């Protein structure tokens, strides 16, 4: 009897090479975006970001989208001290800010904030989206002066599914909220979360949650292979 092919839904687009690699392990992945991110482009945010380009600031990035949004606003490279999440966010930092130093990374925002506090940083700039979690501001309250700059907005894109899947891939709490607003998660369906924050947002809807080792699509697919014995 042939092995059953695993049917997975990713709630965001994935690179074709990753889909092909998964298919070679009998894992078929459909991609359907449940959120849309739009960079903020206006004179106020453009001026605010460019006022920082000649300064050696400490910057926080907790999403790859915030990195690309800031890069699009700058007219040249910067020399910043950066604290960011590991995985896709760090990869985008290294691509767009090659002259900046990545002082520390972490797998979640709470751990990242702890490293900033441990380093004794007193002034930090947090580049984020309008739907960002409260973790960074709450953890740094009273510990550092935090300047928050919203560089992109997040909008829900709802879809009602008719097909069932063996597994679901979630890359943000916003995608979880959007998905669950119109869909039910079956108890047998495994949900894969890109990090601890996304995993926590899934807890009201399912107990069948697996969290990726690092915040990247590649790590998510590795967990899918392990869960369904498709190594």
In a domain, 15, yes or no: yes
**148/203 same-domain check:** no
Instruction: Give mean pLDDT, residues 152-159.
Output: 96
Q: 130: which residues sit within 8 A by CB, 6+ positions away?
A: 150, 152, 153, 154
Tokens found for residue 157: 């894109």
Q: Which of 134, 154, 174 is the last residue of a domain?
A: 154
**Prediction pTM value:** 0.86
Instruction: Give mean pLDDT, residues 217-222.
Output: 94
In a domain, 38, yes or no: no
Residue carrying structure tokens 């441990």: 118
**150/97 same-domain check:** yes
**139/195 same-domain check:** no
- From the number of C-beta atoms within 10 Å of its C-beta (0-12, 13-18, 19+), residue 171 rates as buried
**117/61 same-domain check:** yes
**pLDDT digit string, tens, across residues 100-143:** 999 999 988 999 999 999 999 999 999 999 999 899 999 999 99
Lowest mean pLDDT among 44-48, 169-173, 181-185, 196-200: 196-200
**182/135 same-domain check:** no
> What's the rounded Cα separation, in Å, for the pair 226 and 231?
6
In a domain, 56, yes or no: yes
Phi, psi of 81 (to 5 degrees): -100, 115
**Does the pLDDT value for residue 2 go beyond 90?**
no
**94/48 same-domain check:** yes
Q: Which of 106, 128, 154 is the last residue of a domain?
A: 154
Q: Which of 154, 175, 205 is the last residue of a domain?
A: 154
Phi, psi of 154 (to 5 degrees): -115, 130
For the beta carbon of residue 184, count every other beta carbon within 10 angstroms: 11
Tokens found for residue 201: 């947002």
Classified as helix, coil or strand, 118 is helix
> What's the rounded Cα separation, in Å, for the pair 216 and 194?
7
In a domain, 181, yes or no: yes
> What's the rounded Cα separation, in Å, for the pair 121 and 33?
37
Rounded mean pLDDT of the chain?
95
In a domain, 177, yes or no: yes
Cross-strand bridge partners of residue 126: 60, 148
Q: Where are the alpha helices (DSSP H) in the chain?
A: 16-23, 43-50, 64-73, 88-96, 109-119, 135-140, 173-180, 196-202, 217-227
**pLDDT digit string, tens, across residues 59-102:** 999 999 999 999 999 988 999 999 999 888 999 999 999 999 99
In a domain, 169, yes or no: yes
**Does the pLDDT value for residue 3 go beyond 80?**
no
Distance of CA 23 to the CA centre of its chain: 24
- The count of domains in the chain is 2
**pLDDT digit string, tens, across residues 29-44:** 999 999 999 999 999 9
Instruction: Give the structural domain span for 19.
Output: 6-33+157-227
In a domain, 1, yes or no: no
> What's the rounded Cα separation, in Å, for the pair 84 and 111?
10
CATH number of 200's domain: 3.40.50.10090
**Does the pLDDT value for residue 1 go beyond 80?**
no
Q: What is the pLDDT of residue 150?
A: 98
């Amino acid at each position: 009897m042939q092995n059953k092919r695993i049917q997975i839904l990713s709630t965001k687009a994935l690179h074709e090479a990753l889909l092909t690699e998964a298919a070679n392990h009998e894992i078929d992945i459909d991609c359907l975006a449940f959120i849309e991110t739009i960079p903020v482009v206006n004179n106020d945010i453009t001026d605010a970001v460019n006022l920082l380009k000649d300064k050696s600031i400490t910057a926080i990035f907790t999403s790859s989208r915030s990195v690309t949004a800031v890069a699009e606003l700058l007219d040249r490279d910067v020399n910043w001290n950066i604290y960011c999440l590991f995985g896709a966010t760090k990869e985008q930092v290294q691509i767009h800010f090659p002259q900046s130093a990545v002082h520390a990374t972490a797998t979640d925002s709470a751990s990242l904030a702890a490293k900033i506090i441990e380093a004794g940083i007193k002034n930090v700039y947090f580049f984020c989206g309008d739907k960002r979690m409260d973790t960074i501001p709450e953890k740094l309250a009273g510990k550092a002066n935090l300047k928050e700059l919203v560089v992109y907005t997040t909008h829900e894109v709802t879809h009602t599914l008719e097909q069932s899947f063996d597994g679901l891939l979630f890359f943000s709490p916003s995608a979880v909220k959007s998905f669950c607003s119109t869909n039910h998660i079956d108890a047998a369906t495994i949900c894969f979360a890109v990090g601890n924050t996304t995993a926590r947002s899934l807890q009201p809807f399912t107990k069948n949650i697996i969290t990726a080792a690092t915040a990247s699509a590649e790590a998510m697919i590795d967990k899918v292979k392990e869960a369904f014995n498709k190594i």
